[in-house]
Amino acid sequence: MEIDRRKFLASVGAGALAVMTPEDKAEALEHYMCDLLDGEDSGHVHDHHHHHGPVPRTEDLDPRLLDESELLAEAAEAEAEFADEGHHHDHDAGQDVRPPRGTGNLFRPTDEVLEPLPANPTLEDFFRRRFWPARHVLQSATHALNDGQPEENVLAGLLHDTVQNLIKVDHGWWGAQLYEPYVPEYVSWGIRYHGALRFYPDEEYGYEYPELYNRIFGEDYIPPDYIKQAAEYAKGHPLYVSARMICVNDTYAFQDGMEVSLDPFIDIIGRHFKQPKEGLGYDNSPVAHMWRSLEMPWAPL
């Protein structure tokens, strides 16, 4: 996927960028890429008037050459440029009205009317009516399937980021909690720790440091202590491979123009997902409230 660096910086805003931690920046970049895949910035690829060339090389953005003040200045300039051209609708008279970055997709301001779920809703119902178009996770699962990986890897790839429709912050932990009652431990454990491992390379599994982060920000990712601790714990765990393979499959899951479908995964879901007969959200499980929140994000109480 090609990223217009100035558009991304404009979407973040100089004010937000100034106070963002490396973890915030990493999450913002991944969310932006997922939004592009799902068509939330349809002008991104074809907007030649505002295209500023390829993503700069790492050496062009070496932090020794591009300090933070220069990055913030560029972000402010880009923000003003796209606001003037009508590309940036998040501001009104200079007021920032964007929701917190950790807000789930279903809880962002929108004019879209969600289709009601049927009685006794299934995972497929949630995919098609709450998670859709879900291109990122479908691409991840498709790669695992085409690569001949075990079905549990495929399922983990399919589910790993869907919780971001509910909440984005610490999405690995939230995602594991959402699915824990219904999937094998291998799957939920991998979902929990994939977020901590994604910025740690592993040559044995062919996983490299995501260079795009350095290209966009001109700096290496510096994880907070709790991420470091989680990654160290995961590296010594017998289920380490489950989280690592989510990271590996993720590297193939930001492809423009790739056609994907949920259909190839229906049987895999049937074999490995314990669908409650009462429906997700109505089975009195410890996470039923999370599924009801996904079903009814408009509910006031």
* pLDDT higher than 80, residue 157: yes
CB atoms within 10 A of CB 297: 17
Q: Is the preceding omega at residue 133 within 30 degrees of 0, hence cis?
A: yes
3-state secondary structure (DSSP) of residue 300? coil
Arithmetic mean of pLDDT, 235-244: 98
* DSSP-assigned letters across all residues of 88-110: --SEETTEE-PPPTTB-GGGS--
Each residue's pLDDT tens digit, 14-31 = 666 666 776 667 667 776
| Average pLDDT taken over every residue of the chain | 81
User: Cα separation of 74 and 94, whole Å?
Assistant: 18
Confidence at 54, pLDDT banded by 50, 70, 90: very low
Who's near 210: CB < 8 A, 6+ residues apart?
Answer: 198, 199, 221, 251
Each residue's pLDDT tens digit, 276-285 = 999 999 999 9
Each residue's pLDDT tens digit, 175-214 = 999 999 999 999 999 999 999 998 899 999 999 877 766 7
Bridge partner residues of 202 (DSSP)? 207
Residue 92's identity, in one-letter code, is D
User: Cα separation of 197 and 212, whole Å?
Assistant: 16
Each residue's pLDDT tens digit, 104-143 = 999 988 888 899 999 999 999 999 999 999 999 999 999 9
The pLDDT of residue 213 is 65
Q: Which fold has domain 123-295?
A: Hypothetical protein af1432 (1.10.3210)
Confidence at 51, pLDDT banded by 50, 70, 90: very low
The pLDDT of residue 28 is 72
Q: Domain map of the chain by residue range?
A: 5-107, 123-295
User: Cα separation of 36 and 139, whole Å?
Assistant: 14
